Structure 1
């Protein structure tokens, strides 16, 4: 009798589970499933994500938005005081401060020149670092030589200074040095006994030094 009651109990439980499954699963499947595209749009439009997107845009593309917001132009006069016309983008922009990146002098504020790609204080003509076209534009004991592709006034080389320069090519057009000071000549120097060991690791170019005539 006890065994029969146990079997009846198991059978009743099985029937109940099957009936429940037949009701629960159809109900679950009938529930509205959120559209994936809609969910993505909602996530993107969330205020917190909008704030993050604004920060990312301002940090990575601020330059482009700045250009779009500026007034179209053809010349600096069309932009007014304190601004210049960026001839590449044809937009008016504010003059740049010291050390800001630039492409030409007109991009920088008054008293600054665009040197080596940055707005820097104007150097007095004829002094070290001043722009030049030839050595006549520079002061005594100087020459006009290249630095980062720009011609500026540099000091002539002193006694025992390295003086080798390439015959030409791209390297020379980017950076170059002045010749030796008057009364000196650039030639191979013969090391002393104390220096001989160290000089073994130098190239022939390192042996070129300014020496007395």
Structure 2
């Protein structure tokens, strides 16, 4: 039996409010607007102190506009969840959904747009959807790349280091008629 997304949404809508916590957790989104602690206010403070925002009305320094709730929230320290760089404290960037120190340009883990930005031993490839510098694959490392699809779009691998080629291992005697080598058999090898 196949369940469509529309049916799942209908079931979620019909479930009692207590089940909202489950759905919020499953989709990693807040169930309600941020509480006083998340807003950086003391408990019991008047709710009128919350500053609304929009792209046209920016927030005060040290805050960012959470466009989902339309509220100004304090910037987040290192290790906290984020969606964009402005959500993080000064000097931090939002990489892989967390505020962290940026890598030096050209180093492994640094943001990039082209291979040339990553030096001779690296390439610019997607990791969790973010284009970052990664090392080229070494001798005997798996180098299979899917022809496309979501897996290829989100996580990519660099090509083999210069002087190596990506190819499957030679078929063994028992498998000489196997014309489709397994993905795990594609490795960086000497030409």
| Structure-2 residue corresponding to 1:100 | 80
Q: Give me the TM-score of the superposition, normalised by structure 2.
A: 0.68
Structure 2: give runs of 5+ residues left out of the alignment. Answer: 1-30, 40-46, 175-180
Task: Quote the Cα distance in structure 2 between the aligned partners of 1:96 and 1:135.
Answer: 31
| Structure-1 residue corresponding to 2:130 | 150
Task: Quote the Cα distance in structure 2 between the aligned partners of 1:169 and 1:62.
Answer: 35
1:63 aligns with 2:41: no
Matched positions, count? 146
1:90 aligns with 2:61: no
Post-superposition shift, 1:70?
2.4
| Structure-2 residue corresponding to 1:211 | 189
| Structure-2 residue corresponding to 1:138 | 118
Could you say what secondary structure the match of 1:172 adopts?
A: helix
1:126-205 → structure 2 map (5 Å cutoff): 126-190=106-170, 204-205=182-183
1:26-70 superposed Cα distances (whole Å, 9 cap, x missing partner): xxxxxxxxxxxxxxxxxxxxxxxxxxxxxxxxxx85725556652
Whether the 8 Å contact between 2:33 and 2:69 is mirrored in structure 1 is no
Structure 1: give runs of 5+ residues left out of the alignment. Answer: 1-59, 197-202
1:92-129 superposed Cα distances (whole Å, 9 cap, x missing partner): 11010111111100000012101111111111111100
Post-superposition shift, 1:134?
1.8
Pair member with larger Rg: 1
Task: Quote the Cα distance in structure 2 between the aligned partners of 1:187 and 1:76.
Answer: 54
Q: Give me the TM-score of the superposition, normalised by structure 1.
A: 0.61
Moved over 6 A (4+): none
Shift of the 137–75 alpha-carbon distance from structure 1 to 2, 3 Å rule, reads same
| Structure-2 residue corresponding to 1:121 | 101
